Structure 1
Amino acid sequence: MNYDALLLVSFGGPESASDVLPFLRNVTRGRGVPEERLTEVAEHYYHFGGVSPINEWCRSFIDALRGEFATHRVNLPIYWGNRNWPPMLVEAVQQMAGDGVKRALAFTTSAYGSYSSCRQYLEDLSAARAAVGGSAPVIDKIRHFFDHPGFVQPFADKLRTAAAAIDDPANARILFTAHSIPVGMNDVSGPEGARYHDQVAETAALVRQAAGLDLPYDIVWQSKSGPADSVWLGPDINDHLKAIAAEGVSSVVVSPVGFLSDHMEVLWDLDIEAKQTAEELGLSYYRAGTPGLDPRTVTMVRELVAERVDGAPVKRLGKLPLWNPNDDGCCPARRPVGMGR
């Protein structure tokens, strides 16, 4: 299929202290989150000067990707739009329309399938296109890339490096972590056996295998942000740290496979909160890195583009089913009545 642009779609983040509360209001608009809760979360950002690293990462990633495209003669201009903070998606789509773009591919910074990590991006793209009007380009989302070598192998290398520092391997555990979602959302995030939880679990297994480690591991979850009485995927990483400390585990290495780069939920939830929990429990705590600007991850985007533009072979390490995220049934917002929990 012919495409004439690539759009990087990300979550967005504040770039100064004065941005923080307006950004959080954008993120939570329509959810009824009280202002005092936003003020509480804002302190996480203020701890880092009010700046989320995600926007700067996007700029650097686009620079690297433009170089990759130039080297391999991929003639696609790259645009960038965020869901929650400038540059906003509607601005990017307006610019694309003004430049004469007719059909674009969208690469989102989430590797997995669920409403919040997939369908919601599509809804925001649709809203941006509607706001621009009839001149807006068609925009197709690139497939989930949770098992692509350019995603798995950088995690594996960084896990291996972090694990090398463990002083007591006989009593160590790997914890693979990703953003928790409501159980009902997980239950409809894909076909049976290939849902969000299953995708994260496959990535974890692939990363451990590629790292060549035989340490036991667990899948844990972080960053729950919904009502206290709702059921989300668990166990929470802090609760699990307490459980394994009671079992006699003395060291943990945490690999945040749910995140493409070190953004706020990695820096605060893992490097501050989870690390503090581990220290209080007497656990040695090591945090493995994310792919970030790894050249293999940059190459991955070019290869994902080539799958759609040139019909290039699909590169993947896993065995779970893949599907077209642009289909109407992909990652619906709500659990249908009568489906399990």
Structure 2
Amino acid sequence: MTDTLAPLDAAARVLDADTYDCILLAGFGGPEGQDDVIPYLRNVTAGRGVPDERLEEVSHHYRHFGGISPINEQNRDLKAALEQEIAKRGLDLPVYWGNRFWAPYFTDALKELHEDGHRKVLVLVTTAFSSYSGCRAYREDLATALADTGLTDELRLDKIRQYFDHPGFVKPNIDAVLNGLRELKAAGKAENAHVMFATHSIPTAAADVSGPREARPDGTPVPTGGGEEWYAGGGWYVDQQRAVSALVMDAVEQEFPGTPWSLVFQSRSGDPSIPWLEPDINDAIEALDDSVTGLVISPIGFVSDHMEVAWDLDNEAKETCDERDLAMVRVPTVGVDPQFVSGLIDLVEERHVAAAGDTPRAREALTDLGPWQDVCPANCCMTRKPKPTVSSAAADGGIGA
């Protein structure tokens, strides 16, 4: 069934608050030793027929760091920070942690929280933007984990909305870019500085169908009638990233007026014949005018300094800058910044109340794209034949789409 609600009509997509039992922090996962690298890459590429020889060729990023991705340790840190914030607010919400592609897996986390007596779960995904890999794939994999554990009828999993324009995500990114420009200024390199906001490249076909498909990113309806022509293209993934980047640059304007900026893409993989979002960050660096004196790179598309930040930016992009003798400052992701952690629990309190009748926290958003939806339409971010997903809507009965 097609959901005909307009995606910018946020009130129509808001679910009533409820009382939940716990939080599931949903991560991507990463290897934690040299012996883990190939099994981990097999998990990530499962079903694509990629031979181990090819996986070994692409494993050098992890091998460079001893086979250890920083992402798991960062999620441990985030889990601990969330628990501290929850305790400070007096909430009775234990935090569990599970990953899509490495231990602890979703199945492990679901078994654990079920054994502890929890049944109603708020899912907090470690991605801020709308895309198949950033939202729908998590919901699909959680539905698979429910089926694999036999807990489909035992657990209700409701995902917290995308938070790309929530103050808790935006404000730390503003601080980071300001500090990066100040660092360039201290080195005498800020007069003709440029800011690049880096995010993960995805196939343009996936970008076109990111977010709800019943309207264009500006909210303009498209003709209905079925078929591939039903959605005219555009997608929300890039629109959200540009909107947040513009917010950041508006905030730094007073101290660094007129600083130019651009949105660039990184970490492309897969068949080179398939179009992906461009420009690649290294191409964009090479294309900068010779008058540019310094570059701030903000990994706006990521919430932690994991492998694709550590390698693609701190190594590859840095090498490209060095070849041009261009001063570069790579600023941090939001990580466990107190503003981000507090903002995540604000998002929890939009959905969770201690008792029926309590007033939930007001929903905050800093762009006119939000607050983002609680309810994901059946075709939201759909890039292939649909699979069952855990629901963003209680009305879907736990499994939807």
TM-score range, shorter chain: over 0.9
Q: Distance in 2 between matches of 1:186 and 1:144?
A: 16
- Match for residue 198 of structure 2 among 169, 173, 177: 177
Task: Look up the SS of the partner of 1:175 in the other structure.
Answer: strand
Q: Which residue matches 1:282?
A: 325
Aligned counterpart in structure 2 of residue 193 of structure 1, from 190, 204, 217: 217
Structure 1 residue 49, shift from structure 2 partner = 1.5
Q: Which one of 108, 125, 128 corresponds to residue 111 of structure 1?
A: 128
Q: 1:62-90: CA deviations, max 9, x gaps? A: 11111111111111111100000000001
Give 2:283's aligned amino acid: D
Q: Which residue of 2 aligns with 1:225?
A: 269
How far off its partner does 1:39 sit? 1.2
2:312 maps to: 269
Q: CA deviation at 1:209?
A: 2.2
Q: What is the alpha-carbon distance in structure 1 between the residues aligned to residue 276 and residue 133 of structure 2? A: 13
TM superposition score normalised by structure 2: 0.80
In the alignment, what sits opposite 1:8?
Answer: 25
Residue type matched to 1:279 in 2? D
Give the conservation status (yes or no) of the 8 Å contact 1:178–1:220. Answer: yes
Q: Is residue 91 from structure 1 mapped to residue 135 from structure 2 by the alignment?
A: no
Q: Map 1:105-254 onto structure 2 (within 5 A).
A: 105-134=122-151, 136-166=154-184, 167-190=188-211, 191-193=215-217, 195-212=236-253, 213-214=256-257, 215-245=259-289, 248-254=291-297
Structure number with higher relative contact order (C-alpha < 8 Å, ≥ 6 residues apart)? 2
Q: Which deviates more from structure 2 when the two are superposed, residues 217-226 or residues 96-105?
A: 96-105
Checking the alignment, whether the CA contact within 8 Å between 1:250 and 1:282 is kept in structure 2 is no
What is the SS of the residue equivalent to 1:79? Answer: strand
Task: Kindly provide the amino acid, as one letter, of the partner of residue 231 in structure 1.
Answer: P
Gaps of at least 5 residues in structure 1 are 337-341
Instruction: Name segments (4+ residues, structure 1) moved above 6 Å.
Output: none
1:6 aligned counterpart, secondary structure? strand
Instruction: Answer yes or no: is the 8 Å Cα contact 2:38–2:52 preserved in 1.
Output: no
The reply to whether residue 315 of structure 1 matches residue 364 of structure 2 is: yes
- Pairwise CA RMSD: 1.7
Any conservation in 1 of the 2:189–2:327 contact (CA below 8 Å)? no
Q: Residue 395 of structure 2 corresponds to which residue in structure 1?
A: none
- Give me the whole-angstrom Cα distance separating, in 1, the residues matched to 2:57 and 2:319: 18
The letter for the 2-side match of 1:234 is E
Mean alpha-carbon deviation: is it higher for 209-218 or for 89-98?
209-218
Shift of 1:335: 10
Classify the secondary structure of the residue corresponding to 1:244.
coil
Partners of 2:65 and 2:53 lie apart in 1 by: 20
Out of 127-136 and 138-147, give the one that drifted further. 127-136
Partner letter of residue 103 of structure 1?
A: K
Deviates more, 1:52-61 or 1:35-44: 35-44
Query: What is the Cα deviation at residue 221 of structure 1?
Result: 0.4
| Residue segments in structure 2 that go unaligned for 5+ positions in a row | 1-17, 219-235, 354-359, 387-401
Alpha-carbon distance, 1:234 to partner? 0.6
Contact 1:140 1:326 in 2 (8 A): no
Alpha-carbon distance in 1 for matches of 2:191, 2:208: 36
Identical aligned pairs, as a percentage? 46
TM-score under structure 1 length normalisation:
0.94
Give the deviation of 1:184 after TM superposition: 0.9
The number of aligned residues is 335
Partner SS state of residue 60, structure 1: helix
* Contact 1:175 1:252 survives alignment (8 Å): yes
The 2-side partners of 1:274 and 1:4 are apart by 43
Q: Distance in 2 between matches of 1:81 and 1:320?
A: 29
Which SS does the other structure have where 2:183 is aligned?
A: coil
User: Max radius of gyration: which structure?
Assistant: 2
